[in-house]
Amino acid sequence: MTVYLHHLTGCAPTPLAHYLKAIGILRLVAQQKDADVRGFWRDQHFCLLTTLDEAALEAFFLDEYAPTPFVSPWNKGSGFYATNDKGLAPVEGSKAHRLEAFRRGISEARTQLDAITRADAEVRQLKDQTKAKKGAKPARSKDDPDYKRDLAAAEREFKRLKADLYGPFALAWRGPHRDWMDAAMVLSPEGEPSWPALLGTGGNDGRLDFTNTAMQRLGDLFDLESVNGAPIPMAKALLKTALFETPSAALLDAAVGQFLPGSAGGANGTTGPDAGSRINPWDFVLMLEGAIAFRGQATRKLGARDDMRAAIPFAITAQAVGYATRGKEKDARGEQWMPLWERAASWQDVGALFGEGRAQLGRSSARRPLDFVRAIARLGVARGLTGFIRYGYLERNGQSNLAVPLGRIEVAAHPRARLIDEIGGWLDRLQREADDAPARFSASVGVLSDAVFNVLTREAEPARWQSVLAAIDEVERVQASGTAFKVGPCPTLSPGWLDAAADDSPDWRLSLSLGSAARGYKKDASPFDPVRAHALPIDPKKGWSYAIGADKRLINDPRVVMMGRDPLSDLVALVERRLVEASQIGSRTLPLVARYGAGARLDDLACFLAGEVDVERIVALGRALMALKWQHARLPRVRVGPRDDRPDEAWEALRLCALPFPVRERTIATEPAIFRRLASGDAAGAVELALRRLRAVGLRPPLAAAIADPTTARRWAAAFAFPIEPAVATAMADRFENPTVRETA
């Protein structure tokens, strides 16, 4: 048996119409011609493995294809409520064998429509009474109270009958037209319909009814009056265009709906002011054939908080994250992520995939894009998939709803994706709060969402994980101003974040030093009195939640000195506050200690003092890392660094006078006046006091004085905020104590 491989270059993953067309072709060939057909995606198009050669494949669609009965009697534009409708009437009155199932579906719909048809006719008749015929006055006025009463009663009766329409259809319909109904709507146990965004509102989008349009397109392809439903002369050329993307000049000027935005026409659609819609009738018909694969499953159960759209395969709530062209996404109909696979799969396999149609995140199904990418990163979707095309049903081009492709998401394992679970619940609460929050807060939550999306959908580089940490800090700073603080600060983070975000840069190492700073570390390696309390108004006794007063506002805590306006000022304010608190308990030290292995290196401090680092990023990362569980962190020993890459001797002299521990068995008492002079720009005075202090403990600084401009002096003061370890302090003291070290330094 010979198997042919067809490259259907006319079936691409985007736009949505072409994706659905590929699914429709696979379904139709499998169900009506070759049960062993296989399909897969490769090089941006769909491939078909079948026993049909190209001529036989074309002959199947031209001569044998039996269309699915697309009937939506619940829609007013479906053709059931008009006399001699141009779409429905030719199909209903045809003699073609290939349309037998279609005619049966129309007939079964008719049996349920007698009462509602009469009610609709009465409404139309009343409205016609207000229209003036040529040369005559209207029979009734729209302002006539009796007319308003009669029209309102007629419309109420029509709506009542229409509301009871779905249940009888669901009970009575069997066969392929029921498959269409299941794709067009999902009925709740109470009989209330929910409309999957893929097919608008029950098979129509505004004034465009998909089913009636499909019937018209069938009339454009086949001679509906002939017994065999023979194809029209142009049908073969149009089929080649639909399957293999061969050029054609026979496209129709007809509506395409939301599925093919590039052909929808409208403003800026051509070189002129306006463009018409262009459509291949095969594309529209085969597109709806593919949409049937996305029907809701009766066995699917929805949680109390799940959106009804979740009953449709891979459909989730819309979220403006991961793409740039954001609009008023609150009005969006949702998103749908269309799966791609590169291994040949039968229709049974593909149908089972769409029948299951969900991404699992723990015990629950993914409901939003961030949930979905977390599930993908953890291989929470069916294996064998290589990616997803993300579509958003968004309002664009005025009030038009379009299926907009929002990007391709590759399915790949991200070993560190579970780190996002630590902030997943917090991020969910932030996003719910952002709906009605001030613009600044909504923007910061959007930046955080984008950062999380990027780290889960692209190569997990340390820079992307650092962007997540920086975005966490931005959200917390906005919260500290009094916005959405009830959500709470970022929860504690595991040490895995250090492995994910670590790079060999001075900026990162300095942020570790700042983030791990505390008064000290206990024997179990847990910090006590960490500096996070100086960055946020939080209460560590209540699980690091925000401290809220009796007035239900954030407490104005004097310990909070890092306001986030200027990073250097924040570092200076942190050191000043620590010195004040030390003096209050009678201590003459600077109580800033880093976690072992996180202390600042001399070469990194030299870069900071020389202005060769991004101070704003260092402080942002450091503030975020204050939420880390430092007692569980395991870091390598701090390297002292080469002797030719160290800070200025004057700064090292100043730093030795602000330590929380003795050095070389010498206790150098901290004099707050040294730091105050330095912070005010008086570098010469600060150095003079520091040299006296060092000489008093037996150290011999190799300088008599030093000067620096006020800006440099303030940067010197800010560098005190980065704790150093005893080994680093010893290296500095050796420079002042050992002549040999001094000569080779």
- Contacts of residue 671, defined as CB under 8 A and 6 or more positions apart, other chains included, come to 588, 657, 689, 693
Tokens matching residue 730 = 């010893």
Q: Would 538 be classed as within a structural domain?
A: yes
Element (H, E) at 361: strand 360-361
User: Is residue 402 located within the same domain as residue 509?
Assistant: no
User: Is residue 514 located within the same domain as residue 382?
Assistant: no
* Beta bridge partner(s), residue 78: none
Predicted pLDDT at 275? 57
pTM of the model: 0.85
Number of domains, the chain: 2
- Among 272-286, 513-527, 675-689, the minimum mean pLDDT is found in 272-286
Comparing 315 with 580, the larger pLDDT belongs to: 580
Please give the DSSP secondary-structure letter assigned to residue 295.
Answer: P
CA-angle at 165, arms to 160 and 167, nearest 5°: 120
| Distance between CA atoms of residues 357 and 371, nearest Å | 15
Task: Classify 145 as helix, strand or coil.
Answer: helix
Structure confidence by residue, pLDDT tens digits, 319-348:
888 887 665 555 568 899 999 999 999 999
CA-angle at 534, arms to 529 and 540, nearest 5°: 50
Phi-psi region of 698 (alpha: psi -120 to 50; beta: other; left: phi over 0): left
Predicted pLDDT at 305? 45
- Estimate the crossing angle of helix 100-111 against helix 176-184, to 10 degrees: 60
Tokens matching residue 14 = 């985007």
Q: How far is CA 628 from CA 183, 362, 496, 514, in A?
A: 48, 24, 9, 12
Task: Determine the average pLDDT of the residues in 3-9.
Answer: 96
Task: Classify 274 as helix, strand or coil.
Answer: strand
Answer whether residue 98 shows pLDDT above 80: yes
- Among 98-107, 371-380, 685-694, the minimum mean pLDDT is found in 371-380
- Contacts of residue 198, defined as CB under 8 A and 6 or more positions apart, other chains included, come to 183, 291, 294, 312, 315, 336, 393
Tokens matching residue 570 = 């924040």
| Distance between CA atoms of residues 171 and 184, nearest Å | 16
Predicted pLDDT at 745? 42
Predicted pLDDT at 304? 42
| Distance between CA atoms of residues 77 and 203, nearest Å | 10
| Distance between CA atoms of residues 513 and 560, nearest Å | 19
User: Is residue 406 located within the same domain as residue 509?
Assistant: no
Task: Determine the average pLDDT of the residues in 72-81.
Answer: 88
Answer whether residue 509 shows pLDDT above 90: yes
- DSSP-H helix ranges across 436-527: 439-457, 462-480, 496-501, 506-515
Pairing label, strands 400-410, 385-396? antiparallel
Tokens matching residue 475 = 């959200």
Structure confidence by residue, pLDDT tens digits, 125-143:
888 888 877 666 677 888 8
Query: Residue 589's domain spans which residues?
Result: 504-744
Predicted pLDDT at 253? 84
What percent of the chain has pLDDT above 90? 59
Q: Would 335 be classed as within a structural domain?
A: yes
- Domain boundary pick from 413, 441, 462: 413
| Distance between CA atoms of residues 589 and 669, nearest Å | 6
Q: Would 116 be classed as within a structural domain?
A: no
User: Is residue 527 located within the same domain as residue 663?
Assistant: yes
- Domain boundary pick from 413, 430, 445: 413
Element (H, E) at 546: strand 545-546
Give the residue among 212, 247, 201, 190 at the shortest CA–CA distance from 106: 212
| Distance between CA atoms of residues 261 and 405, nearest Å | 10
User: Is residue 406 located within the same domain as residue 508?
Assistant: no
Task: Classify 365 as helix, strand or coil.
Answer: strand
Structure confidence by residue, pLDDT tens digits, 563-582:
988 999 999 999 999 999 99
Phi, psi of 729 (to 5 degrees): -65, -35
Answer whether residue 76 shows pLDDT above 60: yes
Tokens matching residue 656 = 């030795």
Tokens matching residue 680 = 């005010």
| Distance between CA atoms of residues 28 and 41, nearest Å | 17
Answer whether residue 301 shows pLDDT above 60: no
Comparing 117 with 510, the larger pLDDT belongs to: 510
| Distance between CA atoms of residues 173 and 74, nearest Å | 14
Q: Is 379 within 8 Å of 413 (Cβ atoms)?
A: yes
Predicted pLDDT at 368? 85
Q: Would 395 be classed as within a structural domain?
A: yes
Comparing 236 with 638, the larger pLDDT belongs to: 236
Confidence of residue 269 (pLDDT cuts 50, 70, 90): low
Task: Determine the average pLDDT of the residues in 243-255.
Answer: 86
User: Is residue 514 located within the same domain as residue 624?
Assistant: yes
Structure confidence by residue, pLDDT tens digits, 604-632:
999 999 999 999 999 999 999 999 999 99
- Among 273-287, 474-488, 663-677, 701-715, the minimum mean pLDDT is found in 273-287
Comparing 95 with 193, the larger pLDDT belongs to: 95
Comparing 103 with 542, the larger pLDDT belongs to: 103
User: Is residue 714 located within the same domain as residue 579?
Assistant: yes
Instruction: Give residue 61's Cα distance to chain centre.
Output: 39
Answer whether residue 297 shows pLDDT above 60: no
Q: Would 560 be classed as within a structural domain?
A: yes
Q: How far is CA 87 from CA 18, 211, 281, in A?
A: 23, 9, 13
Task: Determine the average pLDDT of the residues in 8-12.
Answer: 96
Structure confidence by residue, pLDDT tens digits, 441-476:
999 999 999 999 999 998 889 999 999 999 999 999
- Contacts of residue 125, defined as CB under 8 A and 6 or more positions apart, other chains included, come to none
* Beta bridge partner(s), residue 385: 341
- Among 170-174, 390-394, 426-430, the minimum mean pLDDT is found in 170-174
Confidence of residue 303 (pLDDT cuts 50, 70, 90): very low
Predicted pLDDT at 39? 97
Q: At residue 298, what is the residue type?
A: A
Mean of pLDDT over the chain: 88
- Domain boundary pick from 394, 413, 432: 413
Q: Would 53 be classed as within a structural domain?
A: no
User: Is residue 409 located within the same domain as residue 554?
Assistant: no
CA dihedral 330, 331, 333, 339 (to 10 degrees): -50
What percent of the chain has pLDDT above 70? 91
* Beta bridge partner(s), residue 209: 204
User: Is residue 308 located within the same domain as residue 407?
Assistant: yes
Predicted pLDDT at 491? 94
Q: At residue 567, what is the residue type?
A: P
Answer whether residue 10 shows pLDDT above 90: yes
Answer whether residue 413 shows pLDDT above 90: no
Q: At residue 235, what is the residue type?
A: A
Answer whether residue 436 shows pLDDT above 80: yes
Tokens matching residue 151 = 């029209």
Predicted pLDDT at 339? 94
Q: How far is CA 412 from CA 378, 567, 651, 735, in A?
A: 8, 38, 49, 52
| Distance between CA atoms of residues 555 and 64, nearest Å | 76
User: Is residue 508 located within the same domain as residue 656?
Assistant: yes
Q: Is 82 within 8 Å of 90 (Cβ atoms)?
A: no
Task: Determine the average pLDDT of the residues in 405-415.
Answer: 87
Comparing 246 with 298, the larger pLDDT belongs to: 246
Structure confidence by residue, pLDDT tens digits, 365-387:
778 888 888 888 765 565 688 99
Answer whether residue 234 shows pLDDT above 60: yes
Predicted pLDDT at 642? 62
Number of C-beta neighbours around residue 149 at 10 A: 10
